[in-house]
Structure 1
Amino acid sequence: MPADNMSADKLSPPENPLRARAAAVRENAHAPYSKFKVGAAIRAASGTVYVGCNVENVAYPEGTCAEAGAIAAMVAAGETQLTEAYVIADCPAPVPPCGGCRQKLKEFGATDVSVTLATTDGVEQTTTIGDLLPGAFDAGYMERS
């Protein structure tokens, strides 16, 4: 069920280029324990699209989320600003990023950056980083007077 700050749409056919990239990389996810594969695609300020998939580890807290993998690829390429994100999973309703990934998205994207959450059968919800993480902790809190 969509939250109040999200809109849900059924796509026919999926045309978002980030969707195609996220869906493709999702197939590479390493999820032998949960069987819950997730793919993410982010567009950097340059227009380049970076992708990531979840990578589980038998020591569960040591896994990596799809969003974190895409952000790491962006940073490894020398970019530090994202302008759009897309996350896809095979579930009954679009799944939002975990709390840690919400903070990671905020680190590299403005509060008005669009984040699309999707299911593999075409249901989408669109929100923003600011709606996903209201009251975000940011560098401003680190400043000393």
Structure 2
Amino acid sequence: MQWKQQLVKAAVEASQMAYCPYSNYKVGAALLVAGTQETPVIIKGCNVENAAYPCGNCAEKTAISNGVISGHQKFDAVAIVTRDGGLPCGQCRQILNEFNPVMLIVMCDMNGTIVTEAKLNEILPYAFGPGNLL
């Protein structure tokens, strides 16, 4: 199984762990650690909602946090699974940009069918990032 298929499978698995009693909109994300295509290192995340809505966490942010706590700070790709193959929200695009502005974004439905693929800089043009603070 190639790395992209493994990444999508991991995102589907992560979506099943989502805690979303308010929206019922499960999201799973799986990050590919940079340079690990031959032997994929994959970090998962799911959305975690909260009754105080701003306190919730998106799947992409959970995956990034899990990656950082595991010692990783560079990612080549992320697969994101939602019921409709929806794109990451603006806040998640900004979070992902911090770790690789040209990472591959693979958007899938809950069956793991790829809906679309794009580089992050294509869906977040003119991004603000670490280089802006130099």
Please state how far the C-alpha of 1:30 moved relative to its aligned partner: 0.2
Query: Which contiguous aligned blocks of 4+ residues in structure 1 show a shift greater than 6 angstroms?
Result: none
The alignment status of 1:89 with 2:74, answered yes or no, reads no
Instruction: Give the match for residue 95 of structure 2.
Output: 104
Aligned partner letter, 2:70 = A
Structure 1 distance, partners of 2:130, 2:122, is 19
Deviations 1:48-102 (A, max 9, x none): 10000000000001100000011101100111000011000112xx200011100
User: What is the alpha-carbon root mean square deviation over aligned residues?
Assistant: 1.3
Q: Does 1:120 align with 2:110?
A: yes
Larger radius of gyration: 1
Query: Do 2:15 and 2:27's aligned partners in 1 also have CA atoms closer than 8 Å?
Result: yes
* TM, length-normalised to structure 1: 0.82
Match of 1:74 among 63, 67, 79: 67
For residue 16 of structure 1, give the secondary structure of its aligned residue in structure 2.
helix
1:22 is matched with which residue? 11
Aligned length: 126
Structure 2 gaps, min length 5: none
* Identity value in percent: 34
1:131 aligned residue (94, 97, 122): 122
Q: TM-score, with normalisation over the residues of structure 2?
A: 0.89
- Give the alignment partner of residue 47 of structure 2, picking from 51, 54, 63: 54
> In the aligned structure 2, how far is the partner of 1:35 from the partner of 1:22?
17
Q: Secondary structure at the match of 1:25?
A: helix
Q: Shift in Å at residue 123 of structure 1? A: 4.2
Please state how far the C-alpha of 1:109 moved relative to its aligned partner. Answer: 1.1
SS state of the match for residue 63, structure 2?
Answer: helix
Q: Is the 8 A contact 2:35 2:76 kept in 1?
A: no
Deviation at 1:110, TM superposition (A): 3.4
Q: 1:46 offset after TM fit, Å?
A: 4.9
Distance in structure 2 (CA, Å) of the matches to 1:118 and 1:130: 19
